[in-house]
Structure 1
Amino acid sequence: MELRQLKYFLAVAEELHFGNAARRMNISQPPLSQQVKQLEEELGARLFERTSRSVALTPEGVFFKEEAKAILERLERAGDTVRAMARGEEGSLSIGFVVIINQSLLPEVILDYKQRFPKVHLELKEMTTNYQLKSVRNGTLDIGFIRYHNQDLSGLCKKTYIKENYVLALSDRHPLAGRTEISLGELTDEPLVMFKRDNLPALYDEIVRAFTRAGMRPRMVQETNRRLTAIALVAAGMGVSPVPESTRRLGREGVTYLPIVEPLPEIEVAAVWADKGGVSVLDSFVAVMESHRRRG
């Protein structure tokens, strides 16, 4: 059974006239009649009652007309969907992000993208940087927003999304809370709240070296990858914590943020993805992201 046979049959079933159906399909009548006859032979049933003056559907033809119409409509919808997917207008997209991205432009990018491409289903996943990189490489994540610090990104595309500096978070009740800036050397034996080393060991070690060079002996009291947890511990007087500058936007009471005199590594959040080639929902998302990066 061929697709053209279904189209020819449906044209005759709707016109109930072989000549009119042939003109509608832009072919001559003999080939159309032959294709309909072959279809009937394949089905083992007559679809039309033919006389010299009229054409009528048999009961089998009435049933087959509805089925053929549904098949052709479904094929048309499938074709429209595939073409939309190829244009990046329809499909699904999984997006990973670290907590830091919540305080950036990502929510605006998501909103803009959903308005432009309402038929694309977005799945957002809060994930650590290492887990995102593994997921992007094995294809279970389309794009990730990671903390980048010299990781191996071979085979992946990368766009720097935001850059920001570290500031020191300390309790409002801390004796140094009234300062306009702070030197790491002034912290001496202060307990530290840090992110977990196994997530970004190179960055962790670089920050610890900066504290050591300033004459401070780092004393970790808590490690957490969640900034809300880190600043809650700071507010409770458990220690001080170097945090991204955007942490100020969390609006946690009882916490002061001071610029740090000594240079610490710059925090870079980058979007990473595997280049799969061609137009897709991923390409359309990257284009929207790029437009916001230029405005930002």
Structure 2
Amino acid sequence: MQMDELELFLTLARTRHFQQASVQSNISPSALSRAIQRIENEVGEKLFDRNNRNVSLTPAGLVFRSYAEQMLKIWKEGRQALSQEKGVISGELGIYCSVTAAYGVLPEILDGFRKAYPHVHIKLRTGDAESALEQLQKGDTDIAIAAIPEQMPEPMESILVARTPLVWISSCNSEIRSGQDIDWKTTPLILPKQGIARMRFDRWRKEMRIQPSIYAQVTGNEAIIAMVHLGCGIGLVPEMVLEKSPVTHTIDILEVVPPLKPYGIGICVNRKSLGNGVTKAFWDTARTYSLPHGGE
């Protein structure tokens, strides 16, 4: 059994979706299906239950996943130990971030890291920003780029590399204009379903004693911008995301007083994984791009 097949198995076990797993693994769904069949034939057990809607691990699959994670971890550690014996940092590094972070935060840091450590293979996965810390907690990635909460969960650490205001936005075609008073009881709001921005809105709403009219609660800042672009209401997003949006020219930023507290974007890691030479090398590289924590 090849190590790359174990990675395919674990990706499908994590996503529970053939299309998502194939996209993340850069192979076709049919090739992924054949790889899973080869693994099942080799171990002699059915590892996944499949139907038209979803994929789930069988009892045998749950057992095999635990051993597959251990085997892959030992394999990677062995390769890294051998490379370090030669004085070379090599291996794989998993990074999870939003599409916006991939455009706006990661390039400069990644460029510096690749120049210093050309033998490291980067495995980048993108998804909802709200899921970044969860991916790190579950051990599905080595590094996450995420909004830094006021209290980082143990045993995680973060390096502040960017700041962004939270801004209220409306469509340029909307009757709502910057500077005018907003009737929060009747104006439809499009809000993040969870995450730091939502927590800060809930705190702001209580302080302002506002009873808002919530039109939609969605996952992903890009989805909020799309709904505002279509005229569904006003939304709350990080300004950094708006700047990278293809429809930013159709969006107005509203002046709302008092503004919500901005938040920091950080390189996040599980403290235990800093014993890994590749992860530690990226962490040390990221430190050279860090910002002071004061003044958020």
TM-score by length of 1: 0.61
Are positions 1:285 and 2:282 aligned together?
yes
1:88/1:188 Cα in 2 relative to 1: closer, same or farther (>3 Å)?
farther
* Overall identity of the aligned pairs, in %: 18
Counterpart amino acid of residue 141 in structure 1: T
> Would you say the 8 A contact 1:88–1:284 is kept in 2?
no
Unmatched segments (≥5 aa) in structure 2: 1-77
1:174 Cα deviation (Å)? 1.9
State how far apart, in whole Å, the 1-side matches of 2:129 and 2:221 are: 14
CA contact (8 A) 2:224 2:235 kept: yes
Indicate whether 1:232 and 2:214 are aligned: no
What letter corresponds to residue 268 of structure 1 in structure 2?
A: G
**In the alignment, does 2:110 pair up with 1:115?**
no
CA distance 1:209–1:96, shift in 2 (3 Å): same
Report the counterpart of residue 223 of structure 1 in structure 2.
217
Partner residue of 1:249? Answer: 244
Shift of the 134–236 alpha-carbon distance from structure 1 to 2, 3 Å rule, reads: closer
* SS class of match (2:107): helix
User: Could you list the per-position Cα deviations for residues 174-218 of structure 1 after superposition, in whole angstroms to 9, with x for gaps in the alignment?
Assistant: 2233x3x466x5544111111113xx2x65243034245446432
Q: Determine the structure 2 residue equivalent to 1:45.
A: none
Q: Is the 8 A contact 1:162 1:270 kept in 2?
A: yes
Aligned length: 212
* Residue 130 to residue 175, structure 1, CA distance change in 2 (3 Å): closer
Give the aligned partner of residue 192 of structure 1.
Answer: 189
1:273 and 2:259 are equivalent in the alignment: no
Higher-Rg member (1/2): 1
Letter in 1 for 2:269: W
Equivalent in the alignment of 2:200: 206
Distance 2:97 2:211 in 1: 32
Instruction: Give the aligned residue type for 2:191.
Output: M
How does 1:31-180 map onto structure 2 within 5 Å? 82-84=82-84, 89-128=89-128, 131-177=131-177, 179=178
- 1:166 Cα deviation after fit: 1.1
1:171–1:203 CA distance, 2 compared to 1 (3 A): closer
